[in-house]
Structure 1
Amino acid sequence: MRTNYRRWTEYPYAGESIPPKGSPEAGFWPMFFISRGRDNNFLDPFHQRINWRIKNPEGIDWETELLIVEQTLNSLTPQQIHIAQYWGTGELTDKITTIIFRLAKKYKLGSPSVARVQGYFHAAMNDAFVITWFFKYHWDVARPNQYGRNLSTVLFTPRFPAYPSAHATVAGCAEAILSYIFPRESFEIKKVMEESAQSRLYAGVHFNVDNIEGLGLGRQIGEVVVSLLRTQNLNTLQ
């Protein structure tokens, strides 16, 4: 079946002659809070089917999205370049874990509470990556550098499909969970996680819609986790 967008597996990256090859296995790894039913239906911890709130890429105007990438890269500020480099180098979850420890210290959480928060957080990150990889390879959406526009990107383009952005999905999931645990910090947490998602546009490796939809998907995954936390007596920490 043909699509109205370029397929990641069909177009070479800029400066290359053959299309990239991927590794979709992570999209089928075991999960902690979400389970996989028949025909790739996903179930929440209460065994209810999840209806994912993410746009089908067939309904996205990818030419307009490409124009946004080009305009962004042509007008980058030093601050935006710094944001792209900060969030795009090293392990993303390491940066978020640093935030967790900072907030734990601020609110004087004991070691058992910190361990529990970390456990829920990292288990949720696993599920966020699995769902993201499932959609990435299910839809097989090309990256901006596969359109032959000679983009001058800030970072190297990752070797897996674009849609949705994993950075954005992880950020959205982290936002939902950490805002529940640290409600007084929710405004700042939201601001930081949106910056993390936006950094992928600044880097030139994602379309803007990859980030917007990724954030939404991540927040939905986070809501699934929070719905369980409410029943597990993990109260918000003041």
Structure 2
Amino acid sequence: MNRFLLIFAVAVFCFSSCKKADYQKITHNPELYRTTVKKLNDIVLENNFPPVIASRNYAYANIAAYEVIAAGDPKHYRSLAGQIKHLTTVPKPDKDKEIDFQFASLLSFCVVGNAVTFPEGSMETYVDELKKKAEDAGMPSDAFDNSVEYSNVVAKHILAWSKKDNYAQTRSASKYTVTRKDGRWIPTPPMYAQALEPHWGEIRPLVLDSAAQIPSPEPPPYNMADKNSSFYKAVIEVKTMGDSLTEEQKHMADFWDDNAFKLNVIGHASFATKKFSPGGHWMNIAGIGSQIKKADFGTTVAAYTETSIALFDAFINCWYVKYKANSVRPETVITRVLDPEWRPYIQTPPFPEYISGHAVISAAAAEVLTRTFGDNIIYSDSSESEFGIAPRTFKSFRDAAEEAAMSRVYGGIHYRNACIVGTMQGRKIGDLVTEKLKLKIK
């Protein structure tokens, strides 16, 4: 009889272990996290979130996911509380409750992602799909319920913290004042949209002490009267280059365009087209890095999180510099002084020229990804394929960032100096993020 009970107990244990292994193959698969981030990216695109706001969506959602992972595996991952000075300690999980922390991480990402995007409930259908995957794979009901419960606890904590970042206050802040002074930014065709998020530099950063912590040199002064001035030469370079673009240069400009909302005007008709924002593009690249390096679930979450933090702070710093300099776009100068019919290859976005946002955020993200996955990683980026743009191959993340910066000159929306300085600025931000934040415990 005892022998029978022993055999029965062993059989039950083996069956339980097999079932556990079955559902964990689903919930612990890093591809599921990459898919989840892409889902949020799609929602951001569909609902036309501007690049700076999109970076906020990615940062808080990823931080929520990461804090769940850190709580579940404190031997290998360090909480961001205490590293991001204004983030308080996240509630600890109940040690007596079985929790699938990877599954809870996915859910926490979605809860926060659902709360910081609109329309409300955009991710609910996807959350239902995640839950069904776990249940169908055999996750025990107690582990399922405990995981859902803890994901909500962490998400609630992160959302309460996110609401103190000054975002709500900037919704009612004063608008940008447009003047016709030479050298100052004014709206550009075809939308002639008002300045985008002129107060974004007032948003609370995550790692930077303030938006102004990393200063940027002043741009060359406006001077179209002197053909030997730095400004005049910069304008001529943009026009000359735009008038004689090669197919390769056009491909670079299209690939990194990342215009979240482009207004197309054909005769009397107009329609909008959308792409990933620059931050969304780099979220995709973080996923590519994770896939190439065959990173496990925790490493994948950490990579997305640190990259999203770098993007968030890079946008805050960049926008502070932009609205401090208020520099005029090439299109405005060229059409006013040189050729009234001239248009850039890609559409000019509605905010000041200096410094290049894509240069800053790309360089910041590239530094984080290089520290995470290594340098000289050759990869093909097919992020733009869904928009009909062929993939491009890069020899490293830094190589991609440098091309992203230069693409803005080819596109006709930036002077070269704004891209060079922007890249330097972004590298400094990326370095600061990797120096201050220690996510993985070695």
TM-score relative to the length of structure 1:
0.81
CA displacement 1:42-62 (0-9 Å, x = unmatched): 2xxxxxxx4x3x321146821
Partner of 2:414: 206
Contact 1:27 1:131 survives alignment (8 Å): yes
The separation in 2 between residues aligned to 1:208 and 1:41, in whole angstroms, is 23
* AA partner of residue 192 (structure 1): A
* AA partner of residue 188 (structure 1): S
SS of match in other structure, 2:353? coil
Query: Structure 1 residue aligned with 2:366, among 169, 172, 175?
Result: 175
| Uncovered stretches (5+) of structure 1, i.e. residues with no partner | 43-49
Superposition CA RMSD, Å: 2.5
The separation in 2 between residues aligned to 1:87 and 1:78, in whole angstroms, is 14
Query: Structure 2 residue aligned with 1:13, among 178, 183, 188?
Result: 188
The separation in 1 between residues aligned to 2:212 and 2:409, in whole angstroms, is 30
Contact 1:13 1:20 survives alignment (8 Å): no
Q: Does 1:81 align with 2:256?
A: no
The separation in 2 between residues aligned to 1:15 and 1:113, in whole angstroms, is 43
TM-score relative to the length of structure 2:
0.45
Identity %, equivalent residues: 25
Partner of 1:68: 237
Q: Post-superposition shift, 1:23? A: 3.2
Larger radius of gyration: 2
Partner of 2:332: 146
| Uncovered stretches (5+) of structure 2, i.e. residues with no partner | 1-180, 222-228, 259-274, 378-394
The separation in 1 between residues aligned to 2:193 and 2:305, in whole angstroms, is 38
Partner of 2:70: none
The separation in 1 between residues aligned to 2:319 and 2:365, in whole angstroms, is 17
The separation in 2 between residues aligned to 1:234 and 1:77, in whole angstroms, is 47
Query: Structure 1 residue aligned with 2:197, among 17, 20, 23?
Result: 23
The separation in 2 between residues aligned to 1:56 and 1:101, in whole angstroms, is 35
The separation in 1 between residues aligned to 2:249 and 2:235, in whole angstroms, is 18
SS of match in other structure, 1:30? coil
Q: Post-superposition shift, 1:232? A: 4.5
Contact 1:5 1:58 survives alignment (8 Å): no
Q: Which runs of 4+ in 1 moved over 6 A?
A: none
The separation in 1 between residues aligned to 2:327 and 2:289, in whole angstroms, is 37
* AA partner of residue 170 (structure 1): I
CA displacement 1:141-180 (0-9 Å, x = unmatched): 0000111233331111111000000000011101211111
Query: Structure 2 residue aligned with 1:92, among 278, 284, 287?
Result: 278
Question: Pairwise mapping of residues 153-164 of structure 1 onto structure 2 (< 5 A)?
Answer: 153-164=344-355
Q: Post-superposition shift, 1:19? A: 9.8
Contact 1:8 1:143 survives alignment (8 Å): yes
Change (3 A) 1:27 1:69: same
Question: Pairwise mapping of residues 115-130 of structure 1 onto structure 2 (< 5 A)?
Answer: 115-130=301-316
Contact 1:153 1:203 survives alignment (8 Å): yes
Contact 1:8 1:19 survives alignment (8 Å): no
The separation in 2 between residues aligned to 1:105 and 1:41, in whole angstroms, is 35
The separation in 1 between residues aligned to 2:441 and 2:348, in whole angstroms, is 39
The separation in 1 between residues aligned to 2:291 and 2:193, in whole angstroms, is 47
Contact 2:326 2:352 survives alignment (8 Å): yes
Q: Post-superposition shift, 1:227? A: 0.8
* AA partner of residue 100 (structure 1): A
